[in-house]
Chain A
Amino acid sequence: MKHARIAWSGAIQQAVESDGQLLITHGPHKGQRVSFDDVIWLPPLAPVPQARTVIALGLNYADHAKELAFKAPEEPLAFMKGEASLIGHKALTKRPPEVAYMHYECELAVVIGRKARRVKKADAYDYIEGYTVANDYAIRDYLENWYRPNLRVKNRDTCTPIGPWLVDAADILNPMALKLQTTVNGKVTQSGSTVDMIFDVPTLIEYFSSFMTLNPGDLILTGTPDGIVDCQPGDVIVTEIEGIGQLTNTITL
């Protein structure tokens, strides 16, 4: 099942994908079908009682590490983001006027389903609720070599679109063999596969849960492969992962 959170009829609604439409699943509009174009798409994540932990990976695809002139890391290169950087599908992302290089990063996003602590790789899939697509934009002009990648590059307002769907883990038979693709104004600029991750999803869950508790609703953005290009105002960026969804975003000044 593909789950969405949308704003429609003056309120936030929970819905699932059904025959190319959204079927509202809770509340007074339960059973109502609405078209994809008639709603505002929100991040497909249920609210959580405390700040959502958003872990993001850098250099987690060998080819991307090479592209950025780094040797592959020996342990996951992780940084944390604030939930406020997340926005939904079909939203606008701001590009500061003075920058020279702002690029997308198409990433498989893992949503944790159960409290996870000291989880072994072999059991890691039991702790996953589902998957979605994240576009973890970076503005390279602001890179500084202090806790790099620094938050001015990676934790900007509007710079982490996520969605459109939260896809149940049970529906994704092998999350480690999914094609990823990004298009800019319809032209393919990035293509890869989750099979090329340096640290795969079970390894990441084992690693993080070895020193911290992951809670339901927490996110792991698993990094991006080769093929990043500059995005200009007006560009329409579609980040897509096979079986998970197509996340559309437009750059604006």
Chain B
Amino acid sequence: MQMTPTSHQPWQPQGTVYGTLLNFRREWALWSPRMTQAPHKAAPKAPVLYVKTANTFCPAGHALLLQDGVSEVDIGATLGLLMGEDGQVAGAVLLNDWSVPHDSYYRPPVKFRCRDGFLALPQQPTSGQVADWAALQIEVRRNGDVVQTVQLSELMRNLPALLADVAEFMTLQPGDVLMVGTDCLPDGTRPRAKAGDRVEISAPGFVPVITHLKGQA
């Protein structure tokens, strides 16, 4: 697998990008009292995943255009595990997994998560193995101010457990990316951004993801 671009082209995923819902303890705890109620009726057993389709890929240096009636988005700072050969993790990337704020997790989130440009990418990935990132701390800055600090030590399924539980039902292919989840703030919401904002996701050892948000002219 190609870890570093051969030219100055910014990195893009070669395969399918999967996201993981409800993988932080805080959001799980906030949801817990409602998990057994309708329409959910039970807490999720398997990892709850979604796909970020290729139209969402927004290479480094490109702005996010808010359009089609969307004026505000949730910031989704996460780590994406980059799959190599033989089901092994070959590296990782910081990502901004944008979504349209949505309160219901009952139906698949296609129109909330699969809009054009809704996955902000770094210039290049970082090599390594999952043990390197067990206690990674990711910082989210909006217009220079820290608005969230995400601790991977707070995952419900840590990285090896998530990989194992996903592999139970689907084989990640070389080039696929598995995003480990996004955390919420103490009140259950996520930090938001709107046109004019500059959002930066950073963590030690990783190339940051920087996005300028624009509105429709």
Interface residues of A (CB under 8 A from B): 50-53, 55, 77-85, 117, 142, 144-152, 155-157, 210-215
Contact = CB atoms under 8 A, between A and B. Distances in A.
A147 B109 contact: yes
B49 interface: yes
A145 to B, nearest CB: 5
Contact of A146 (B18, B55, B106): B106
Contacts of A50: 12-14, 54, 57
B21 interface: yes
A47 B210 CA distance: 31
Contacts of A213: 55, 116
B62 interface: no
B129 interface: no
Given A145-B42, A147-B48, A147-B50, A212 B115 contact: yes
B8 interface: no
A146 B110 contact: no
A148 B106 CA distance: 6
Given A146-B44, A212-B115, A78 B110 contact: yes
Contact of A51 (B16, B111, B168): B16
B171 interface: yes
A151 B107 contact: no
Contacts of B17: 51
Ranked nearest first, the 4 interchain pairs of A and B with the lowest CB-CB distance are A80-B51, A79-B108, A50-B54, A82-B16
Contacts of A78: 108, 110
Q: Which of B12, B107, B115 has the most CB of A within 10 A?
A: B107
Contact of B46 (A79, A80, A150, A215): A150
B38 to A, nearest CB: 8
B200 interface: no
7 contacts: A51-B54, A80-B50, A82-B16, A142-B46, A144-B42, A146-B40, A210-B68
